[in-house]
Amino acid sequence: MIDVTDLHKSFKTRERGEVRAVAGLSFHVRAGEVYGLLGPNGAGKTTTLRILATLALPDRGTVRVDGRDPVADPIGARERLAWVPAEGGLPPRLSGREVVRLFARIQGVADPDRVADETLDRMGATPFADRPCGDLSTGMKRRVVLARALVHRPAALLLDEPTDGLDVMGRRDVLGLVRSLAADGRAVILSSHVMGEVERVVDRAGIVAGGQLVAEGTVAELLARTGTATLDDAFMALVAPP
């Protein structure tokens, strides 16, 4: 469903010169699978997701989303994916219902208002759907953002740090929603730098550091490989060996 092969991406910065954000990253995510793209800040997770989301261009390598090339055919790829940025990206003065209905219309959904309302309901966002997004709590915003992302029933879902800023209850809610989205047959990539909270949700995880894949497998495989008890410890063993 989602293929990333030998992906490279560098940025030029004034302070640090050329920075290699992604350096030869490859992984594959199947339909119905939640794939955790895990790594510390600056590991290249967001850059990889932005390339998949058609927001950035790779220097080298290939990416495919449901068979579409986000570089050569961005419109085709955008029809099949949904991007949930870490910032949320909700206009503060529009209501959640207005936003989701607008996205449904632009995505070409048949009967967009009804589908938008149903999606908001499925995400548990109906009680606050008519309030301006700027007045919502972080957890409420996440639900609206997920509704916006899912309104056109995308085949692939790209979630960048979806639990950032959420309290314990909010985190549990959002991760539960993520699990149910994969159960519908979607390929879900979830990036996070908090290992512990995603280990119950992901089917497989790729540990990324310095723009490269350090290890990949199910949580059990990663724990067995490192001889550790938690994903946090496994990560430390892989990325920062003693």
Partner 1 sequence: MRRSASALAGLTYAHALSLLREALVRRSLGWPVALVIGTLLAVVAVTTVRRGNPTVLVLDGAPAWVEPTLHDAGFATVRGSDPVGPVQREVVLASTDGHQLNLGRGGPDAGRLEIALRRHHGSTWLPDVEGSLPDLRTTEIGGRRICRLLGGLYALYGAVFGLGALARDRDEGTLDAELTLPIGSWMPAFARWLAASLLLGLSWAVAVGMIDALLGVRDAGAMVRDGIGATAAAAALGVAAVGRAGLKASFSGPFTAVAAGIAGIVAFGTTWPGWGRHLPIASMVLGGDGWSPMFVGWALGPLAAVLFAWRGGRT
Binding segment toward partner 1, per CB under 8 A, in 35-43, 89-97, 172-180, 183-191: 89-97
Nearer to partner 1, 1 or 237 (CB): 1
Q: Identify which of residues 11 and 216 has a Cβ nearer to partner 1 in the complex.
A: 11
202 by Cβ neighbours in 10 Å (0-12 / 13-18 / 19+) ranks as: buried
Q: Which of 19, 23, 31, 94 binds partner 1 (CB under 8 A)?
A: 94
Q: Rule CB under 8 A: is residue 204 a binding residue for partner 1?
A: no
The Cβ of residue 200 has, within 10 Å, a number of other Cβ atoms equal to 12
Q: Which residue number, 113 or 196, has a Cβ lying nearer to partner 1?
A: 113
Contact between 188 and partner 1 per CB under 8 A: no
Single-letter residue type at 204:
R
Q: In what order do the strands lie in the sheet with 2-13?
A: 17-29, 2-13, 60-65
> Under rule CB under 8 A, which residues in 144-183 are in contact with partner 1?
148
135 binds partner 1 (CB under 8 A): no
Contacts from 107-115 at CB under 8 Å and sequence distance 24+? 107/79, 107/151, 107/152, 108/152, 109/151, 109/152, 112/151, 115/151
19 binds partner 1 (CB under 8 A): no
Q: Which residue has the tokens 């590991």?
A: 43
Binding of residue 54 to partner 1 (CB under 8 A)? yes
Q: Please report how close the Cβ of residue 38 comes to partner 1 at its closest, in angstroms.
A: 21
CB 30 within 8 A of CB 1: yes
79 binds partner 1 (CB under 8 A): yes
5, 6, 30, 57: residue in contact with partner 1 (rule CB under 8 A): 57
Tokens of 22: 């992604």
Give me the amino acid identity at 112: P
Q: Which residues contact partner 1 by CB under 8 A?
A: 53-57, 74-76, 78-79, 81-83, 85-94, 98-99, 102-103, 105-108, 132, 148
